[in-house]
């Protein structure tokens, strides 16, 4: 098994983050620091992360959280702000977020110790749809919506086509449903900035067909077996 997958399967972090740890020299195998991606390991090898032994863990857990505004989507915050894990302290297993919602964004966030699924759901090649509800200032024109749907330039790079529907509109505000499959940093906010409409409220309402289903802000639950199988399928993982 590749080292980064072994680490992700052990619940250290997502596979992408584990690759960063390897390149930073924080991983050793049998006492030797490894910085080369793709190194092969087995259960007979002694693998450490920051000098702590890690074991490949097949006992995965999966949770869905309705993230409130005012929490950062990290395991630990250098500015000592509250993190989403502060809302889930009762869970004994080490878990990490799948993707990110920024500090001022609320809604559906998945957390797990399954690094393979995390990688699958966040990698652009799998085209996993994410649905957001966004309330912006002003009346959004048909032309602006067409721009969002066809792709809009953000920081010199065009976004992939999106689906945009009007939920509510008046002369003061517009509420939109926007479906994207990319995961660029603060993408929805930047898309709205590009059409010159300030975001007043932003929430993620779905990943694929999985929704919060009445989960109150700050509350979480375990995913059902059916939901886990569904997420693996849309992530391209054999089940």
Task: Please write the tens of the pLDDT for every residue from 122-143.
Answer: 877 778 899 999 999 999 999 9
Domain limits of the chain?
3-54, 62-124+209-234, 129-207
Q: Is the pLDDT of residue 47 over 70?
A: yes
The pair of structure tokens assigned to 109 is 């966030």
Percentage of the chain exceeding pLDDT 90: 62
For residue 98, give the DSSP letter.
Answer: E
For residue 167, give the DSSP letter.
Answer: E
Q: How confident is the model at residue 51 (pLDDT cuts 50, 70, 90)?
A: confident
Q: Which residue has the higher pLDDT, 96 or 53?
A: 96
CA–CA separation, 23 vs 48, rounded Å?
14
Q: Considering 45, 77, 102, 193, which one is annotated as catalytic?
A: 102
- Going by C-beta distance under 8 Å and a sequence separation of 6 or more, which residues neighbour residue 99? 73, 109, 110, 121, 122, 130, 183
Sign of the four-CA dihedral 194, 196, 200, 203: negative
Fold: same for 62-124+209-234 and 129-207 = yes
- The CATH class given to the 62-124+209-234 domain equals alpha beta
Q: Which residue has the higher pLDDT, 77 or 186?
A: 186
Q: Is the pLDDT of residue 9 over 80?
A: no
For residue 23, give the DSSP letter.
Answer: H
Q: Which residue has the higher pLDDT, 221 or 121?
A: 221
Residue 70 has a pLDDT of 96
| 202 and 104 Cβ atoms separated by less than 8 Å | yes
Q: Is the pLDDT of residue 58 over 70?
A: no
169 pairs with which residues across the strands?
174
Residue 82 has a pLDDT of 94
Angle 81-100-73 from CA coordinates, rounded to 5°: 20
Closest CA to 131 of 165, 84, 168: 165
- Count of Cβ atoms closer than 10 Å to residue 152 Cβ: 17
Residue 115 has a pLDDT of 79
Cα radius of gyration (the chain): 19
List the CATH code of the domain at 129-207: 3.30.70.1560
**Is 102 annotated in the active site?**
yes
Q: How confident is the model at residue 239 (pLDDT cuts 50, 70, 90)?
A: low
Note the CATH architecture for domain 3-54: Roll (3.10)
The pair of structure tokens assigned to 202 is 């932003």
Task: Please write the tens of the pLDDT for every residue from 183-210.
Answer: 888 999 999 999 999 999 999 999 999 9
pTM: 0.77
Where do we find the tokens 């090649």? Answer: 125
CA–CA separation, 54 vs 117, rounded Å?
19
């Amino acid at each position: 098994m590749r080292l980064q997958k072994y680490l992700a399967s052990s619940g250290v972090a997502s596979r992408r983050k584990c690759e960063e740890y390897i390149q930073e020299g924080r991983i050793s195998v049998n006492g030797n620091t490894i910085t080369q991606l793709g190194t092969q390991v087995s259960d007979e090898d002694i693998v450490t992360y920051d000098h702590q032994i890690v074991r490949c863990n097949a006992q995965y857990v999966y949770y869905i959280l309705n993230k409130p505004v005012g929490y950062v989507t990290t395991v630990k915050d250098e500015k000592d702000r509250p993190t989403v894990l502060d809302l889930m302290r009762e869970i004994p297993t080490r878990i990490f977020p799948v993707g990110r919602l920024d500090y001022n964004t609320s809604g559906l966030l998945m957390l797990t110790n399954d690094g393979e699924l995390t990688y699958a759901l966040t990698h652009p090649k799998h085209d996993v749809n994410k649905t957001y509800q966004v309330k912006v200032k002003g009346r959004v024109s048909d032309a602006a919506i067409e721009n969002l749907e066809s792709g809009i330039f953000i920081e010199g790079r065009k976004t992939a086509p999106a689906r945009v529907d009007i939920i509510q509109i008046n002369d003061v505000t517009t509420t939109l449903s926007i479906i994207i499959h990319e995961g660029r940093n603060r993408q929805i906010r930047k898309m709205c900035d590009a059409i010159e409409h300030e975001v007043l409220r932003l929430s993620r309402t779905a990943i694929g067909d999985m929704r919060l289903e009445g989960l109150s802000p700050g509350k979480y639950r375990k995913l059902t077996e059916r939901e886990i199988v569904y997420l693996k399928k849309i992530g391209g993982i054999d089940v």
